[in-house]
Amino acid sequence: MASLTAFQGKLGKKYAAHLLRRITFGPTKREIDTFAEKTPEEALADLLKALPPLPDPIDPDTGQTWINRSLEGEKVDHDALKQHLKAWWIDEMVHSPLSVIPKLSYFLHTHFTTIESRISYSQSIYYQIRLFRHFALGNLKVLSKKICLDNAMLRFLDGDLNEAGRPNENFAREFLELYTIGKGPQIGPSDYTHYTEDDIIEAAKIFSGYQEDKNFTHTDPETGLSQALLKTDGNGLASRHDASVKTFSHAFEHQTIAPSQTANGLATEEAAEDEINQLVDMVFAKPETARHFSRKLYRFFVYYQISEETEAKVIAPMAEILLENNYAIEPVLQALFTSQHFYDADNHLPEDNVVGAMIKSPLELVVGSLRFFQVNLPQASDPIEQYYQAYESGILKPLRWQGLDFYEPFEVAGYPAYHQSPAFHRNWISANYLARRYEYSKHIIQGIRNENDEMLFRLDIVEYVKQPNNITDPENARLLVEELLGYLLPEIITTERFDYFLKVILLDDLSEINWKKEWQRFQATGDDSAVRIQLENLVNTIMQSPEYQLS
């Protein structure tokens, strides 16, 4: 029976790998071994630790960061700078210590989605990424208040066009439907159970009167991050904000929200912003908001299908934890990732298993592979052009080919795999996307090169296998294959399948003794040509296997 009852005992290798694949961007063999000796509570204590702040990205044209200065009026290629920002963020996913923060930051991006091509200024994307990272272990309700004044979100959903007398409902609609309480069954004209069309209109009035801060000097005192500006007159009053009384529907018990302080019929800056706080508090007081967030967390980290039993025994308790903790995210993560349900220990029915049941996103596939094999990518301290080329050619482009145009979903609701029923994660797989997934393993083994045919990075499997922390005894073909499969695949495979990888792929139908001699010859002569062909063939086949596509 599905439940959040705590899992007892040490994780062991299988469950340690499962936990680390789901809530980080991928472990190494050594990290799986370390976490195998921990209980879920001990593992979470390590993974929930804060990370140091990220250094600012560098502009290759100047060698300096462009974040801390206004670019208004300058001739700046913001499209190029936004590509650099995406590379900069993925760099953290590839190189950060094991932590939930990079994965949770990405989850928040998939929930509060923005399409970067609709954003004029690269700094807006930078501060939004910083906002997600700031609240990765923070409070969902407070983040929701901050996102209402986020420059990128304001621009994306036309918030800067929303003024008193000329309301624009785009952000208000998505705020209710996508970001907070969610759309329920339609039970009447313009009535979606959890809110009505009239509620969207009233919420839009509350969000009215703001503009993008193009100089990025107006900061939120709590986070220190840039946020949108209120349009004011010469006296500091909200000149374009709707200062009327906003009355909500029966879905919110007909509550009213109005500015607490006005002058000459205009709200003060503090009163206008306080209306946003009141609106968020009203929406987050509803249990369905907590359930909506709980379902999103569950589908992202655990499994896409939510049965009636899972809704009652897992989602509802998660929502209660969120409400009890005023939407602090850590307590619900603790409960979910230490539960029997997360480790398939709540029943013995294979059809209910969540381990190895999720299709990896392109980001998990690519970044997880680079992390597991400890591929050396250029660093920001290297020639900066090579650094950006490596990430943009070797990661961002392959992600796009595999169906994830990073920070550029094609719809307002975000990437279909995270929200589109009934397929959800199956949206990652099509004939074309699958072929591109399979191509990536060949590309990183052969090496990612720039336009000048200079090597940017590659997966050197011989170098990987040589390291004692990675493979216990490279001369032992059977043990070598056991270790690679045991750490790379989420479930134990059949003997027939194992023999395929060992005998057909690695050994090429020769004997295990032959492999031992080839490895010893390489050790004696330094000529790795024979073992390299076989190892590259093995790793390429593993990474192209159906099993490797799962988490």
Both 481 and 538 in one domain: the answer is yes
DSSP output for 223-265? T--B--EE-B-TTSEETTS--SPEE--GGGTT-EE--S-EETT
> Exposed, middle or buried: residue 223 (CB in 10 Å: 0-12, 13-18, 19+)?
middle
pLDDT digits (tens, 9 = 90+) for 389-435: 999 999 999 999 999 999 999 999 999 999 999 999 999 999 999 99
Residues 184-204, mean pLDDT to the nearest whole number: 97
For 129-182, the pLDDT digits (tens) are 999 999 999 999 999 999 999 999 999 999 999 999 999 999 999 999 999 999
Distances (CA, A) of 309 to 3, 305, 315, 317, 352: 9, 11, 9, 12, 11
Based on the domain organization, do 321 and 267 belong to the same domain? no
**What residues make up the domain containing 297?**
290-347
Q: Are 341 and 478 members of one domain?
A: no
- List of E strands, 177-322: 210-211, 229-230, 237-238, 246-247, 256-257, 262-263, 266-268
- The confidence score (pLDDT) of residue 222 equals 95
- Domain's final residue, options 325, 347, 369: 347
Place of tokens 């900061």: 219
- pLDDT class for 71, splitting at 50, 70, 90? low
Last residue of a domain, one of 285, 318, 334: 285
Residue type, 14: K
| CA distance readout (Å), 344 to 307, 340, 374, 547 | 15, 6, 30, 18
Round to whole Å and give the CA distance between 249 and 236: 32
Reduced to 3 states (helix: H, G, I; strand: E, B; else coil), residue 511 is coil
Cα distance between residue 79 and residue 451, in whole Å: 20
Bridge partners, 448 (sequence order): 457
Do 145 and 278 fall within a single domain? yes
Residues 176 and 296 in one domain: no
Does residue 243 belong to any structural domain of this protein? Answer: yes
Do 238 and 153 fall within a single domain? yes
Q: Give me 157's structure tokens.
A: 């959903």
pLDDT value at residue 72:
66
> What angle (nearest 5°) sits at the alpha carbon of residue 107, between those of residues 102 and 113?
120
Question: Distance between CA atoms of 183 and 424, rounded to whole angstroms?
Answer: 17
Name the amino acid, one letter, at 119: I
Name which of 301, 394, 337, 367 is nearest 28 in CA terms.
367
Helices 29-36 and 12-23: crossing angle in degrees, nearest 10, is 120
CA 486 to chain centre: 26
What gap in Å lies between CA 17 and CA 27, rounded to an integer? 7
Give the tens place of pLDDT for each residue, 182-193. Answer: 999 999 999 999
- CA proximity to 99, closest of 173, 19, 154: 19
- Looking at residue 484, its pLDDT comes to 98
**pLDDT of amino acid 168:** 97
Average pLDDT, integer, range 295-320: 97
Amino acid letter for position 287: P
**Residue 448, H or E segment:** strand 448-449
- Relative to beta strand 448-449, strand 266-268 is unpaired
Name the pairing type of β-strands 229-230 and 455-457.
unpaired
In a domain, 358, yes or no: no
402 to 116, 398, 423, 438, 450: CA distances (angstroms)? 19, 6, 17, 10, 20
- What is residue 395's DSSP assignment? I
Q: Which pLDDT does position 70 carry in this prediction? A: 65
pLDDT for 368-395, tens place per residue?
999 999 999 999 888 999 999 999 999 9
In a domain, 32, yes or no: no
Q: What is the pLDDT of residue 73?
A: 65
Helix, strand, or coil (residue 205) = helix
**Looking at the domain assignment, is residue 213 inside a domain?**
yes
For 126-142, write each residue's pLDDT tens digit.
Answer: 999 999 999 999 999 99
Residues 160 and 275 in one domain: yes
Tell whether 109 is covered by a domain.
Answer: no
Q: Is the pLDDT of residue 74 over 80?
A: no
For the segment 8-27, the average pLDDT, to the nearest whole number, is 98
Q: Are residues 148 and 279 in the same domain?
A: yes
Confidence of residue 118 (pLDDT cuts 50, 70, 90): very high
- Dist CA 163 CA 259 (whole Å): 15
Distance of CA 13 to the CA centre of its chain: 24
Distance in angstroms (rounded) separating the CA atoms of residues 107 and 475:
42
What confidence score (pLDDT) does residue 2 get?
81
pLDDT in tens, 261-290: 999 999 999 999 999 999 999 999 999 999
Nearest-CA neighbor of 292 among 173, 382, 183? 183
Residues 252 and 303 grouped into a single domain:
no
- Per-residue pLDDT of 334-351, as tens digits, reads 999 999 999 999 877 777
Whole-number Å distance between alpha carbons of 26 and 99: 10
Which pLDDT belongs to residue 24? 98
Residues 267 and 305 in one domain: no
Q: Mean of the per-residue pLDDT values for the chain?
A: 95
Is residue 93, in this structure, part of any structural domain at all? no
| Cα(51)–Cα(298) distance, integer angstroms | 24
- 278 and 295 part of one domain: no
As a whole number of Å, the CA-based R_g of the chain is 26
Please name every residue paired with 457 in a beta bridge, in sequence order, or none if there are none. Answer: 448
Alpha carbon 309 to chain centroid, angstroms? 27
Residues 158 and 269 in one domain: yes
Residue 487 falls within a domain, yes or no?
A: yes
What is the domain count for the chain? Answer: 3
268 part of a folded domain: yes
C-alpha closest to that of 329 among 180, 140, 103: 140
Domain final residue pick, 285, 308, 325: 285
Residue 138: C-alpha distances to residues 133, 317, 531 (Å): 9, 20, 49
CA 20 vs CA 34, 35, 95, 108, 337: distances in Å: 11, 9, 15, 18, 10
